[in-house]
Amino acid sequence: MRTARQVQAAEGKRSLALVSVSRLPLLRAFRPDLWQKVVPELDRVADGLSRQQQGSVTESKSTTIGGENARRYRIAYDLRGKKLVEEVAFVLRGKTEFLLLCRYEQTASHDACDRLLSSFRLA
């Protein structure tokens, strides 16, 4: 699926596995010197996402994705009797936030997620 702000790929119609990239506007332009102030806000957003899924953040870390500062989270939760993982990464540049999301079953390969996060580039 592709829209003006999102690209998403899922594995089959019934599979819960998916990867997506969403482009969202920021109210103010991000500057790298603001990173330490932004991290607690991103942590709160990830915590809110985990609560929506009735799960928990099992990992969080700052990293570099596509040459930009990024914050990455792993969220574990149950859905319809399946144990799932969502890996969420926030990449900020100027007035744009890129939300990279991968979802897979805990026992499944996360290769597609690794490829998304290692290949993501900003033009």
The answer as to whether 42 is a domain residue is yes
Distance CA 47, CA 102 (A): 16
Q: Is the pLDDT of residue 4 over 70?
A: yes
The answer as to whether 72 is a domain residue is yes
The answer as to whether 13 is a domain residue is yes
Tens of pLDDT, residues 48-105 = 999 999 999 999 999 999 999 999 999 999 998 999 999 999 999 999 999 999 999 9
The answer as to whether 1 is a domain residue is no
Q: What pTM value is reported for the model?
A: 0.90
Indicate left, alpha or beta for 98 from its phi (over 0: left) and psi (-120 to 50: alpha).
beta
CATH (domain of 60): 3.40.1000.10
The answer as to whether 30 is a domain residue is yes
Tens of pLDDT, residues 13-47 = 666 789 999 999 999 999 999 999 999 999 999 99
Total domains, the chain: 1
Domain that includes residue 60, residue range = 6-119
Where residue 5 falls among pLDDT bands split at 50, 70, 90? confident
